[in-house]
Amino acid sequence: MKTVFELSSPGRMGVSLPELDVPAASEIPAELSRESGGETGLPEATEGQILRHYLNLSTMNHHVDKGMYPLGSCTMKYNPKLHEDLARIRGLSGIHPLVPDKLAAGSLELMYRLGEFLCEITGFKGVSLQPAAGAQGEFCGIMLIKSYLESRGEPHRNEVLMPDSAHGTNPATSTLADCVVVGVKSNEYGLVDPEDLMRKAGPNTAVFMLTNPNTLGLFESRIEELTSIVHEAGGLNYMDGANMNALLGIAKPGEMGFDVCHLNLHKTFATPHGGGGPGSGPVACTEELARFVPDPVVIREDDGNYRLCRKQDSFGRLLAFQGNTGVLYKAYAYIRTLGAEGLREVSENALINANYLKAKLRDYFDNPFDNGPCMHEFVLSGDRQAKQGVKTLDIAKRLLDYGFHAPTVYFPLIVHEALMIEPTETESLEDIDAFAEAMISIAGEAIEKPYLVTDAPVNTPVLRLDEVKAVKDLCLVEPVDKGEDP
């Protein structure tokens, strides 16, 4: 594909402006003006060429508006465009962050109400909308717990217990919060082993951090037993709620013995994610922890007005202003559009789709923790194909040739050659069937024509990347040498 820079031709214009009939406001410096012989480095192209340039660019990478993106754990579902429009209403998107509260009344009210909805969804009493991502929500949660433990006279508790299936951000945020990570084993069913938890929980336990459903897509069926073990040892329970797409309207973390959890609005609640776009990882917690949430919070006064308020016991501020408010507005609009019943249907359909797809693929791939129905995702193993010389990474690359993004691969770490698949509720039956057919066809290729898989992708604008070089020789700023293979 030729870029607009290559198509540029001197004198070509995208717009035609009328003759200036007023004095020019200021002189453009000669080096920036083509008329004075300056070199701007900008392409000269027609409006049509520009449009095609950007449209083509937008399709070079895979994205969820182009095709299915069954990324396990990181929910990539269709985000209704209506909510984008609502969040862009001038009265919301145009608010200067420093305006007085009374001029931002509508925005503050939406945040307050969103907080109430998130408390209802999670079964908690307190909330902070400030964290900008799931990982920052985790950090916020651990800071709440540390503040609480300190107030209880137990600042020495600094161990964070987590299962070996934990998402990578869990140990990272614990370390950042100056805690020590203690691993807890999973049993043969892929669930936390209560006996191991019992051994690890003790006088230094600050918190047990758990994703439920866990990263194998399995609901921790002995959850109340697990959270009681930790409470009895004097620690608190944190739920990584990034997988809330499985539980909306069905189960609440606050009723499972958790004390705090975060949600990923940019997974479950109508904001696309990836590529460094804005995210939001609100934290909901018990009343005991609520007094420590980051400053400031929105409160509702007796006269019905909303205002920002600083809390005396807050552990501090996490982010400038109110976090990523655009994401908050979208989440509010999404929740209002669907209502309680609609949210429950989201999760029910996410579960049905995952179980349907799992059943379709069961005979073609190893399925190490297949002890009955899964939740919103499931983890296959590419072990059988690896024995033929076709690795999970090859399968992932081959899927791109079939027009699908790969599932999450090599995670969770406890599954060999893992393929973690989450179809989500927004995919149609036809799309899920087509994905299953692609996977089945690749399983066949792995036996009959393995080179098709190991050489993949062949249909993408950029072929297989040198991942070792990318890791060892990481360079994020300098342009790639022209002429070199990507």
- Residues in contact with ligand PLP by CB under 6 A are 73-74, 133-135, 167, 169, 211, 240, 242-243, 264, 279, 281
In the bound state with ligand PLP, the residue whose beta carbon lies nearer, of 49 and 237, is: 237
Give the count of beta carbons closer than 10 Å to the beta carbon of residue 44: 17
Give the nearest distance from C-beta 435 to ligand PLP in angstroms: 20
| Least distance in angstroms from the C-beta of 377 to ligand PLP | 10
Q: How far is the CB of 182 from ligand PLP (least distance, A)?
A: 18
C-alpha span between 22 and 34 (Å, rounded): 21
Q: How far is the CB of 137 from ligand PLP (least distance, A)?
A: 8
Shortest spacing between CB 172 and ligand PLP, in angstroms: 9
Neighbour count for residue 316 (Cβ, 10 Å): 9
Nearer to ligand PLP, 257 or 279 (CB): 279
The contacts of residue 229 (CB under 8 Å, 6+ apart) are 194, 197, 198, 201
Closest residue by beta carbon to ligand PLP: 134
Residue with tokens 């400030």: 130
Distance of closest approach, residue 436 Cβ to ligand PLP, in angstroms: 23
Q: How far is the CB of 181 from ligand PLP (least distance, A)?
A: 15
User: Angle at the Cα of 298 (from 292 to 304), degrees rounded to 5?
Assistant: 135
Does a cis peptide bond (omega within 30 degrees of 0) precede residue 70? no
Q: Where are the alpha helices (DSSP H) in 291-370?
A: 325-361
Considering beta carbons, is residue 112 or 369 the nearer one to ligand PLP? 369
Residue placing its CB nearer to ligand PLP in the complex, 71 or 111: 71
For residue 134, the minimal CB distance to ligand PLP (Å) is 2
Pick between residue 133 and residue 177 the one whose CB is nearest to ligand PLP: 133
- Which CB sits closer to ligand PLP, 380 or 442? 380
Compute the distance between CA of residue 273 and CA of residue 283 in angstroms, rounded to an integer. 18
For 313, the 3-state DSSP assignment is coil
Long-range contacts at 180-186 (CB < 8 A, ≥ 24 apart)? 184/208, 186/414
Write down the least CB distance from residue 169 to ligand PLP, Å: 4
Among residues 279 and 323, whose Cβ is nearest to ligand PLP?
A: 279
Q: Which two tokens stand for residue 199?
A: 């051994």
Whole-number minimum distance, CB 405 to ligand PLP, in Å?
16
* Listed residue (347, 2, 292) closest to 152, CA to CA: 292
d(CA 372, CA 1): 48
DSSP 210: E
The residue among 272 and 279 lying less far from ligand PLP, judged by its C-beta, is 279
DSSP string covering 246-288: GTTTT--GGGTT-SEEEE-HHHHSS----TT------EEE-HH
Q: Which residues contact 128 (CB under 8 A, 6 or more apart)?
A: 140, 282, 283, 293, 294, 297, 318
CB of 67 to ligand PLP, least distance (A): 21
Nearer to ligand PLP, 165 or 454 (CB): 165
Which distant-in-sequence residues (6+ apart) come within 8 Å of 210 by Cβ?
Answer: 162, 163, 166, 192, 220, 226, 237, 238, 239, 240
Q: Give the separation between CA 217 and CA 354, rounded to whole angstroms.
A: 9
CB nearer ligand PLP, residue 264 or residue 347? 264
Bin 270: left if φ > 0, else alpha if -120 < ψ < 50, else beta: left
Q: Which is nearer to ligand PLP, 53 or 167 (CB)?
A: 167
